[in-house]
Structure 1
């Protein structure tokens, strides 16, 4: 391929609900040839498919088309819509439509592209590719451009992985968004206000064929999307996704991820501008086994002193095995450096409680940050019942108070559903 041509297709009438777009395009472009790529603005597809609704309140229409809010700033919302696209206002458009109405995106843009392609084959006997386009903003970039939201008969992605560049370097991550590049090229000749909703690309017939993947293949799946959420939404998502995980795979834990979580933990508030948190990271199997064996022995001794039967003790010990299942353990410790002594039991108790609350805030930060790193965790209180044993085994200073242990690892399965908690049930207003 040495060159190609992009031109707008003039002569299309105002599109109305029920119109056969393929016939309208065939009448305006009888010269269309095999191997051409047709770029069709989604607005006229929506109009032909009757995706015009009465909507005195555009926000309500956006709500109806929204699956998930990605980010919000004032009235502007970036959302995932019913088509799986992440975009402003769910693609609900109040321009180029009568007052009091809005345009929704085509219900299935890939199906719309297939219908236009099939219709043009019937009308003109040509084998062409069809791309349905819409205007998007882009993260990190100013300005708008057209992208592909539907496609038929055209390669949408060009996977170059496994090949080499001109210097022989291996290509390991290069997948070219061909359909988006074509959509943007078409926008250069269609414009936004010239009344030219269709463009034709000639000279790229190698991209046209029986490809049936559609533009849906260009939408990054959630598991691979590193930028799935906006800032405030990411915080809420991490908080709600933090679950107590009791079964872990044997996959290794990235020590760097744990250290990043500790960095988040120590941003928690604390009294008197203190830093009462210490995190002991048990990264070797030997250190974990040594601690857990010593804690188990101390726990069994306590239960025997309480008169528990051997069967009861065995059951309780098994319930505490979550720490043994984890490939990584963290022991958060409280230090009272900077605390005040009042010489009064009531105030001294309150002083310690303030530090304990700060410790809880730090551990919560830690657990949420681990969830953000896609690591599961379980905060278990067991070290608080044998602090002297923990200090001795881990060779900790006498003023470090172990405040439980956090099991860290990759969850062995998806979390179980849990009952929703209605916030209003926990609120009292005075």
Structure 2
């Protein structure tokens, strides 16, 4: 089976690959099939596209597992999204895909196939073996199948590569109209994987394909594709194509993103000098404004201290008021100085926000009990808004610390910031990039905080 794609290259599936079992010599099997009678053989510059299933079988990546879910758990490092029993996860290879790539198809009942432990190393072994056996310099791509966000259907993509330029970086060039190319990096290895899948198919028993006519994508030389980790797309294999960490703008599904943002919300006390994006803070305020509140009110205001002069004016006034209170409490000057130093977290942040409670729309009651309860409802609503604010900052990868000190000198804060009399400062939030990764939070047993009736 073969297909001609345009006039530039040819793709065909290699027939005659038998059922592969653990310990089989995959190089010998592929070489025999590719050079059998009636086959075009292999030539320098060809790209061999190999389904990961046979690589996994040859490497013994077969697991007896009646419970496929347990196997998925073992291969998962991060849950990206879940809908019913379907899980999209990041697996040990950094690949984001359904079920961590654990496959119960094309394997005996009661077993599952795991992906190769190191697909780039697997591709290198095949490439080196074919060079030794057939004296040909080919590229090798190991493929698997996955869906894609926002697109129906599945396609093959490269999970391992050797001797192949996995990407064509066009940045710095120009298009046909002379416009500069600033973001175009073509995933060549994935395109080759998909081309191979057109002739291999999913159920035809044809796990190997050959692409001929694209020698330009094959890297020559004994050391090409050695996976030395130097950040070069030719040398690092298909791992180079994995986008992870801060570069991944679509890291999580909606509900998982909310949970991760909540878990990321930590009190940060040391910040970098990096400036804070005012737009990110405004987005966090917009999220805060969705909090529930009594009587259809909006009992919160957020004062954004974006200038250094406003922050200094507020913090100096608060420090003077605090020192005066501590002296009135009879503390020594040494103890006062230590207290003030410990409270300097707000000074270390490049951005401050003062959330305020407003009682507009509150009801008046003749007795103190109901009046106190009315205020408590508004305070709780303000707290919900601040929590929304802090969680959204965390989702923007901004650290924060909600410090209560403004509540002890509200008149001072109102005067320093020229706020209306009815605005009650409910602490201050320090905002910035965390200077270091937060320590792991000690696990908490949710049942310890529940009472069921």
Q: TM-score, normalised by structure 2?
A: 0.93
CA contact (8 A) 2:94 2:244 kept: no
| CA–CA separation in structure 1 for the residues paired with 2:412 and 2:77 | 51
Residue 416 (str. 1) matches residue 426 (str. 2): no
The 10-residue stretch of structure 1 (14-23 or 180-189) with the greater mean CA deviation from structure 2: 14-23
Residue 26 (str. 1) matches residue 31 (str. 2): yes
The gaps in structure 2 that reach 5 residues or longer are 1-5, 36-40, 226-234
2:59 match: 49
Q: Over residues 372-420 of structure 1, what are the superposed CA-to-partner deviations in whole Å (9 max), with x where a residue is unaligned?
A: 1111111111110111111112111111100001111111222133422
Secondary structure at 1:325's aligned position in 2?
Answer: coil
1:366 match: 389
What pairs up with 1:281-320 in 2 under 5 angstroms? 281-320=304-343
Q: Over residues 317-362 of structure 1, what are the superposed CA-to-partner deviations in whole Å (9 max), with x where a residue is unaligned?
A: 1111111111111100001112122212112111111111111111
Residue 71 (str. 1) matches residue 76 (str. 2): no
2:192 match: 182
Secondary structure at 2:379's aligned position in 1?
Answer: helix
Q: Over residues 251-300 of structure 1, what are the superposed CA-to-partner deviations in whole Å (9 max), with x where a residue is unaligned?
A: 11111110000001111111122111100111111111111111111111
Residue 379 (str. 1) matches residue 389 (str. 2): no
Secondary structure at 1:7's aligned position in 2?
Answer: strand
How far residue 421 of structure 1 moved from its aligned partner, in angstroms, is 2.1
How far residue 312 of structure 1 moved from its aligned partner, in angstroms, is 1.2
| CA–CA separation in structure 2 for the residues paired with 1:306 and 1:17 | 78
How far residue 2 of structure 1 moved from its aligned partner, in angstroms, is 6.4
CA contact (8 A) 2:272 2:434 kept: yes
1:267 match: 290
| Runs of at least 4 residues off by over 6 Å | none
Secondary structure at 1:97's aligned position in 2?
Answer: coil
Residue 169 (str. 1) matches residue 179 (str. 2): yes
Residue-pair matches, total:
430
1:3 match: 8
1:194 match: 204
| CA–CA separation in structure 1 for the residues paired with 2:8 and 2:310 | 65
| CA–CA separation in structure 2 for the residues paired with 1:18 and 1:314 | 71
1:151 match: 161
| CA–CA separation in structure 2 for the residues paired with 1:417 and 1:106 | 31
| CA–CA separation in structure 1 for the residues paired with 2:95 and 2:392 | 27
Within the candidate set 217, 232, 255, 2:240 is matched to: 217
How far residue 245 of structure 1 moved from its aligned partner, in angstroms, is 1.1
Q: Over residues 222-249 of structure 1, what are the superposed CA-to-partner deviations in whole Å (9 max), with x where a residue is unaligned?
A: 1211111111111111111111111112
What pairs up with 1:341-356 in 2 under 5 angstroms? 341-356=364-379
How far residue 221 of structure 1 moved from its aligned partner, in angstroms, is 2.4
The 10-residue stretch of structure 1 (359-368 or 53-62) with the greater mean CA deviation from structure 2: 53-62
Q: Over residues 197-239 of structure 1, what are the superposed CA-to-partner deviations in whole Å (9 max), with x where a residue is unaligned?
A: 1110001111112233111111112121111111111111111
1:17 match: 22
What pairs up with 1:124-135 in 2 under 5 angstroms? 124-135=134-145
The 10-residue stretch of structure 1 (337-346 or 134-143) with the greater mean CA deviation from structure 2: 337-346
How far residue 113 of structure 1 moved from its aligned partner, in angstroms, is 0.8
| CA–CA separation in structure 2 for the residues paired with 1:374 and 1:82 | 24
The 10-residue stretch of structure 1 (127-136 or 114-123) with the greater mean CA deviation from structure 2: 114-123
| CA–CA separation in structure 1 for the residues paired with 2:58 and 2:212 | 25
Question: How well do the aligned residues superpose, as a CA RMSD in angstroms?
Answer: 1.3
The gaps in structure 1 that reach 5 residues or longer are none
Secondary structure at 2:347's aligned position in 1?
Answer: helix
| CA–CA separation in structure 1 for the residues paired with 2:342 and 2:236 | 49
| CA–CA separation in structure 1 for the residues paired with 2:391 and 2:144 | 37
| CA–CA separation in structure 2 for the residues paired with 1:343 and 1:47 | 79
What pairs up with 1:224-239 in 2 under 5 angstroms? 224-239=247-262
What pairs up with 1:322-333 in 2 under 5 angstroms? 322-333=345-356
The 10-residue stretch of structure 1 (409-418 or 73-82) with the greater mean CA deviation from structure 2: 409-418
2:103 match: 93
2:92 match: 82
Q: Structure 1 residues 375 and 4 mapped into 2: Cα distance closer, same or farther (>3 Å)?
A: same
| CA–CA separation in structure 2 for the residues paired with 1:81 and 1:387 | 51
How far residue 64 of structure 1 moved from its aligned partner, in angstroms, is 1.5
